[in-house]
Amino acid sequence: MRAGITAVGHWVPPDVFTNEWFEQRLDTTDAWIRSRTGIAERRFSMKGATSDLALGAARRCLEQRGVEPDAVDCIIVATMTPDRPLPSTAAILQSKLGALNAWGFDLSAACSGFIYALVTATRLVESGAARLVLVCGADKMSSVVDPLDRATAVLFGDGAGAVLVEPVEDESVGVLAHVCHMDGAGEVALCIPSGGSLDPASPESVASRRHFVVQDGPTVFKAAVTGMAQITEDLLRRADVPLDDVAWMVPHQANRRIIEAVAKRLGMPLGRVVINLDRYGNTVAGTIPIGLSEWHEQKRFAYGDRIVLSAFGAGFTSGAVYLRWSI
């Protein structure tokens, strides 16, 4: 049984925060942010939680397919910013969506989260354990980014994307191959130091601002370029697909310079690379499904197109998926 993506949807908050907004608050400039990251603006959610971002994306996705929420068998939410430590954001989303027949869970793999969740959903469908799986990549990064840290504050945004994964009759399309990897030695290069079992929340941890994302920028940049290029090369070898046959590459949207460096190393023309971080920043698990949804809305994907998804994130995690577009 072949599993494929049969619908997509995305949702971002309406409130736009341009680089000029940061110029008024931090020692930075629009020119510096654009030159270093490629980001011009991003969205921040002024109310609600990650589940509300996912809810907007999920509703659009289900409406596109023309199915009711109670038809969904399983919900997987890829996120590093859950509504609460307990229960799962998937459970909260299930209730808000009215998907009363679905079980589900959260998956935490930071920027690689959507890739890992898509691979998991594909295997659930292929095995017959589930028939209709809703996969959401959603993060409210404004809740975990230090607004006083100019090195990270300008990088992230809030947003969510969702896809439906189900059996497809045409065996030539769908999810065809994947490669996933993890190197835990990268733990401290990109992390949130406190708030877990290692260092539970305390007055001291809050006062010292240890509940915000910290990043060793140069280390992460170098590892991301190498890791994302390598995982993509490994995927193409496993799938036995020449790069020239790939219609689109959809990379994680962390930094335009990273995307350009990966594309150059692979030999992929930028005209065949999905790039939208100039408008959204890094929405972590949301970046790839938002890109898929936008390009589908704009009719830039054709049925049967060969597409590569590739991501690298905290952990260090990385993953890539080869699929043929099935909508």
Active site members: 111, 252, 282
Cβ atoms within 10 Å, residue 177: 17
Distance (Å, whole) CA 30 – CA 26: 11
- Ranges of H-type helices in the chain: 19-23, 30-37, 50-65, 89-97, 113-127, 150-153, 203-207, 217-239, 256-266, 277-280, 287-297
Distance (Å, whole) CA 30 – CA 39: 9
Q: Is 279 helix (H, G, I), strand (E, B) or coil?
A: helix
CB 78 within 8 A of CB 134: no
Cβ atoms within 10 Å, residue 128: 9
- CB within 8 A of 101, min separation 6: which ones? 70, 71, 72, 73
